[in-house]
Structure 1
Amino acid sequence: MTALKQYERIEATGLWRPTAEEQRREVVVSIGEATLTIADFNDSALTHWSLAALVRQNPGAFPAIYHPDGDPGETLELAEGETTMIEAIERLQRAIDRARPHPGRLRLATILGGGAALAAVLVFWLPGAMKRHTVSVVPDIKRQEIGRALLDRIERVGGQECSNPDADPILRKLAARTGVDRLAVVPAGVADSLHLPGGIVLLNRALIEDHEDPAVAAGFVLAERARAEQMDPLDEVLDFAGAWPSFRLLTTGEITPGILDRYAEHALAAPRHALEEDTTLALFAQAAIPSSPYAYALDVTGETVLGLIEADPMAGRTLEPVLPDRDWVLLQSICGE
């Protein structure tokens, strides 16, 4: 990205607060083509923010205060003297915005070029093709919006997502370890795990609290990744919703609340798709996480999951723990008493 060239070696200091309840701390901020990296003074990354989803709370005022879209509790403050970094953020955001469709507006040029006749054909004669096309063009920000809306509805059934200041950073560490964007622990509603659009994976609190080995919870996350590779979570939503909601999402960028309500109920009650064993084992190997703990959590006898046990890609190897013992104990308290 040419907009980045003059900013490649820029760093700034700022004040970062991971949640509204925590104290601000001084950090080093550096910029990339599409991300802002926040690190401590030992050059250890604390978090990465997408520039495309970065919001400035106080345009024109100082200190400049930023937060990720949808999470105003996590903030970064840049003093007035850090003008070069502030200008770099604003310029790169403009460049990114020009290079992609605007969030919430999915009237793509290819669809407009086809005109109303093509839209009618897709609705009435080629619903499957239209659904596949919709899934392929919906941007990540819209997927995340749909995922958060579904999580809100699931919380009405299973209780509010668990959170506490000590355990939340550990949960983010587990998400990074297993290669998903976000993990959410819910008290009930979800039988074990569930993948939502936008890279959100839900875990029932029992997977955290009832097992001594974090590889069990990690295994369920990897299983959800395997399901998402077999069928895109957004594809599952639109497959349930039907042709007209797919067309509405394609042309307006919206899914009606009623459809989201019904899909949330369906997702909690429907049986989970069976997994392709080879795909699942490949993800365990890629993440360097043993598959046997997950397998025995599914079937304590091991009889129905023999392939996951006998073909465990990490069997006989010396492995780094999924999480240190102290972190796992802290994470087990995320839902409180």
Structure 2
Amino acid sequence: MTALKKYQRLESPGLWRDTPEAQRREVVVAFREATLVLSDPRTELPLSHWSLPAVERLNPGNLPALYSPAPDSDETLEVDDPDMIAALETIRGVVKRRSPRPGRLRGTLLGGGTLAILAVGAFFLPDTLVRHTASVLPSATRAQIAEAAVADLSRLTGAPCSTPLGNRALGILSERLFGGAGVTLLVLRDGLPQAAALPGNVILLGLPMIEAAQTPEVPAGFAIAETFRAQGEDPLLPLLRQAGFTATVRLLTSGTLPEGALAGMGEGFLAAPRPALPEEPLLDRFEAAAVSSAPYGFALDQTGETTLGLIEADPYRGGTPRELLNAEDWAALKAICG
């Protein structure tokens, strides 16, 4: 990583062809720590993402340099900027040094080359590729990943609870708390004591927390807290780490995770610690949503000793000023799992 610091955020012009028959197209080539991003110079929209460890040079020693993202790819990229060429050749040199020596059996060569690429990929992956991928995914893709995560969680928690009146209550609560932000609230029967967030503005609420609550301020408080947590740490990141390097590269280049990439994520997700959130900005969220924070504080700690700030600094100590759910909708929400 130290040897590549001088190339961080390097950009240059290039000529990109997505198929052999297509005309060359001017692009901006952006060198990142784990990917090569090709963007339209006018709109700045990404046109293609290449995994740096897999980039191949098709015309060694000739200029302009001609690259491909993989041996079987139709895409090509012409580059004549010396700094960009040096950066790409550095990556290729890292891969080459980890490749097997000549004279081995064909199977050993192929297997060793694959391991070398994966080793370099693992070297660059630590959060750089994961965070970049998360930052460029559209909301529709995030929603699809959330669906896949819920499907795996359902092995352990059962399918999200659903009744017509209960779903109506969840919709009313989401609209009351978040307006038109499109936050989806789901209730899980087992395995989730309190709440958690998924990408795509999905908040999971645990049935044990709802059943123990005396008022809707409690699930409302957990929903507020989890949306705040998700804004500080993207809930997509642990899912991509679970999916791994190959699946993340596939997602970055094709827009879809391989089938089964999130298989088995449920155990780690449910067991993951959810540290306490900073109280002052969290209280600001309660104030903005017009929700009393004290019920949430007592739900976290019945004694109130560890959540004293949420209780004593409650922005609405006289109670939530605007109704969250009426009695009928609150009863429907508590009964959503039957």
Name the TM-score, length of structure 1 as normaliser. Answer: 0.62
The one-letter amino acid of 2:328's match is R
The one-letter amino acid of 2:303's match is T
Question: Given the alignment of the two structures, is residue 251 of structure 1 paired with residue 253 of structure 2, yes or no?
Answer: yes
Aligned partner of 1:172 in structure 2 is: 171
Aligned partner of 2:289 in structure 1 is: 287
Aligned partner of 1:271 in structure 2 is: 273
Once the two structures are superposed, the pairs formed by residues 1-337 of structure 1 within 5 Å of their partners are 108-109=46-47, 111=49, 116=55, 123=121, 126-127=124-125, 128-179=127-178, 181-316=183-318, 319-336=321-338
DSSP-derived class of the 1:131 partner: helix
| RMSD (Å) for aligned C-alpha atoms | 2.8
DSSP-derived class of the 1:202 partner: strand
> Which whole-Å deviations, capped at 9, do the CAs of 1:131-178 have from their partners, x for residues lacking one?
222111111111101101111111121112111112211111112223
> Which whole-Å deviations, capped at 9, do the CAs of 1:88-108 have from their partners, x for residues lacking one?
xxxxxxxxxxxxxxxxxxx94
Q: 1: CA distance between counterparts of 2:259 and 2:280?
A: 37
CA 1:258–1:110 in 2, change beyond 3 Å: closer, same or farther? closer
Checking the alignment, whether the CA contact within 8 Å between 1:215 and 1:322 is kept in structure 2 is: yes
Structure whose alpha-carbon radius of gyration is higher = 2
DSSP-derived class of the 1:261 partner: coil
- Structure 1 runs (4+) greater than 4 angstroms displaced: 112-115, 117-122
DSSP-derived class of the 1:239 partner: helix
DSSP-derived class of the 1:213 partner: coil
Q: 1: CA distance between counterparts of 2:259 and 2:50?
A: 26
The one-letter amino acid of 1:286's match is A
The one-letter amino acid of 1:231's match is E
The one-letter amino acid of 2:249's match is F
Name the TM-score, length of structure 2 as normaliser. Answer: 0.62
Checking the alignment, whether the CA contact within 8 Å between 1:123 and 1:130 is kept in structure 2 is: no
DSSP-derived class of the 1:183 partner: strand
The one-letter amino acid of 1:144's match is A
**Runs (5+) with no aligned partner, structure 2:** 1-44, 57-66, 70-87, 92-119
CA 1:300–1:258 in 2, change beyond 3 Å: closer, same or farther? same
CA 1:293–1:318 in 2, change beyond 3 Å: closer, same or farther? closer
DSSP-derived class of the 1:304 partner: coil
Checking the alignment, whether the CA contact within 8 Å between 2:242 and 2:262 is kept in structure 1 is: no
**Deviation of the 1:125 alpha carbon:** 5.0
Q: 1: CA distance between counterparts of 2:238 and 2:51?
A: 28
CA 1:318–1:172 in 2, change beyond 3 Å: closer, same or farther? closer
Checking the alignment, whether the CA contact within 8 Å between 1:238 and 1:246 is kept in structure 2 is: yes
Q: 1: CA distance between counterparts of 2:331 and 2:242?
A: 39
**Runs (5+) with no aligned partner, structure 1:** 1-106
Checking the alignment, whether the CA contact within 8 Å between 2:169 and 2:329 is kept in structure 1 is: yes
